Amino acid sequence: MSTDAVKNNRKSSIKIGARAFVLAGMILLLLIIVSGILTRTLPAGEYQRISVDGRTSVVKDSFSYLDSAEAARVRETLPIWRWFTAPIEVFWGENGLTVAVIAAFLFFVGGSFTIIENVGVMESILVRAVDKFSERKYLLMAMVIAVIMLLSSFVGLYEGLLPIVIFIVPLAITLGWDSLTGLGMSLLAMGFGFAAAVTNPFTVQVPQKIAELPVNSGAWLRIPFLLIAYVVAFGLTALYAKRIEKNPEKSLSFKADAGLKEQFDREQVLSGREEAMKPEMTRAILWFGYSMGFGILLMLGASTLTATGIWPGASDLSFPLLALVFLAAGLGAGHFAGLRGVPLAKVFFGGMLNILPGLLLIVMAMAVPHIMTRGKVMDTILYRAGELIRDSGPYSAVYLIFSVTLLMNFFVSSASAKAFLMMPILIPLAEMSGITRQTTVFAFSLGDGFSNILYPTNALLLIGLSFTKVGWGTWVRWSIKAQAIMAGFAVLFLAIAVKVGFGPF
């Protein structure tokens, strides 16, 4: 089996396309330059911060601009040439550990996935899925989107579900759709579920604790919003899938998918049914499946420990643990399928190299908030936004909170980090404008979630796209209609929250 696997010499399907890489790189380079210019045009300032239980939050009403001498020193430490070295500096900056964990995750996923492709595990999984759902593929689509959205909305799983993109995209292609349909079933579902949060620990429970609200209160309004988000995600993905079934050339990823359609052609995949049913392949699939199941249980456990306050930092370990689980899953599956020793190592390291361009895009994205933080203008932006909220009526204020969260999510993608940064400032300002604390939390969660799958500065979005041939521009063009529809519903539901005094307080 090992020699056969090496002879097959399958091309990895997670190698990012050159055109998509160049386009995303140019956009991120422009954002790096813009963030650098902001450090030269906005006055430097900062809030005082305190650390409680290992979490850092700002002290309300503590903002002050730096004096001219201090501001000059900050500017001297961030000369123009350091804007362009920022993607390297993030490795030893305050988020250096996060960058290292993301790099390890990408390398392990890239190497492990290339193994399961080479030994035929991917094709075997597809054979079983197509055999079972070929005549009920829209039911499968509905089920996949529902499960992913429920896990994201109630448990807060997002990064823990990212590897599923690797399987859903080839499955969508085998069923006659394209990469964007697969991303709609996975990445769009993750983002919409995370945004339409009901008990999400990061966008609901943490902000509610900061606001001193009963944890998980207010579900009566959040659940209908989740149902609407599901209808939009499934409806638009299914309509698009039906359109490209009739005319494949209408696919926005038609050219990018050419190699994948050849690799995951339905007839070709099903021709390997005999190979897929061999005992060694069954063992490899079982090992990989149980490993992934164990990984999801780890994510659930970490989210629960964080949400209950038993271990607030448990969620920080979920990503590195998932990386190790994926490593064990890929190596074990390769071993059971007969790929061992030097051939196994070659395939694994080949997969790691394929993921390097994706890592480069991610460090470029993380350079943007790095520059803004080093230049001490992040707090200035938050302070000025807060002043606008202070002078607004309830409806204007809630939409400003929603918009400010959207803006801050461009620079700070972590929901819990943003909550500790923003909620101590937003809550008193919102109350002065006649908005309940629950409404403030609702506006925060809506502003945080949807843009996670829109902004090019979001590392998790870039990781998900790096598993496919789809570039950021194509993804935005495909998903922007769904984003616009949900933005409209967000505006409507926030108006309802203000009108009814969404509480308990």
Distance of alpha carbon 320 from the chain centroid? 15
Q: Please report where in the chains the tokens 């079933």 appear, as a residue.
A: 185
Question: What is the phi/psi pair of residue 211, to 5°?
Answer: -80, 0
Distance of alpha carbon 151 from the chain centroid? 14
Distance CA 358, CA 305 (A): 31
Closest CA to 357 of 110, 130, 185, 76: 110
Asked whether residue 60 is assigned to any structural domain, the reply reads: no
Mean pLDDT by 10 residues, the chain (505 residues): 45 67 89 95 91 73 91 92 94 84 86 87 83 89 96 84 88 93 96 93 86 88 97 98 94 87 76 75 90 84 74 74 88 91 91 87 91 92 88 92 93 84 88 92 92 91 88 94 97 97 85
Q: Please report where in the chains the tokens 């539901």 appear, as a residue.
A: 493
Distance CA 235, CA 230 (A): 8
Type of residue at 271: S
Range of the domain at 389: 120-277+376-500
Quickly list DSSP for 51-79: EETTEEEEPTT--EEPPHHHHHHHHHTS-
CA atoms within 13 A on the CB side of 264: 31
Total tally of structural domains belonging to the chain: 1
Closest CA to 42 of 410, 371, 367, 365: 371
Distance of alpha carbon 17 from the chain centroid? 20
**Roughly what angle, to the nearest 10 degrees, separates helices 437-449 and 415-432?**
140
Distance CA 130, CA 128 (A): 6
Asked whether residue 33 is assigned to any structural domain, the reply reads: no
Asked whether residue 288 is assigned to any structural domain, the reply reads: no
Asked whether residue 231 is assigned to any structural domain, the reply reads: yes
- So what's the pLDDT on residue 54? 61
Asked whether residue 283 is assigned to any structural domain, the reply reads: no
Quickly list DSSP for 257-280: THHHHHHT-HHHHHTTHHHHTSHH
Distance CA 352, CA 334 (A): 15
Asked whether residue 406 is assigned to any structural domain, the reply reads: yes
- So what's the pLDDT on residue 375? 94
- So what's the pLDDT on residue 318? 75
Asked whether residue 416 is assigned to any structural domain, the reply reads: yes
The b-or-e profile of 170-193 (16+ CB within 10 A means b, else e) is bbbbbbebbbbbbbbbbbbbbbbb
On the 0-12 / 13-18 / 19+ scale of CB atoms within 10 A, 259 is middle
DSSP reduced 3-state for 58: strand
DSSP reduced 3-state for 376: coil
Q: Which two tokens stand for residue 323?
A: 């990386």
Report long-range pairs for 212-215 (Cβ below 8 Å, ≥24 apart). Answer: 212/437, 213/437, 213/438, 213/441, 213/504, 213/505, 214/504, 215/307
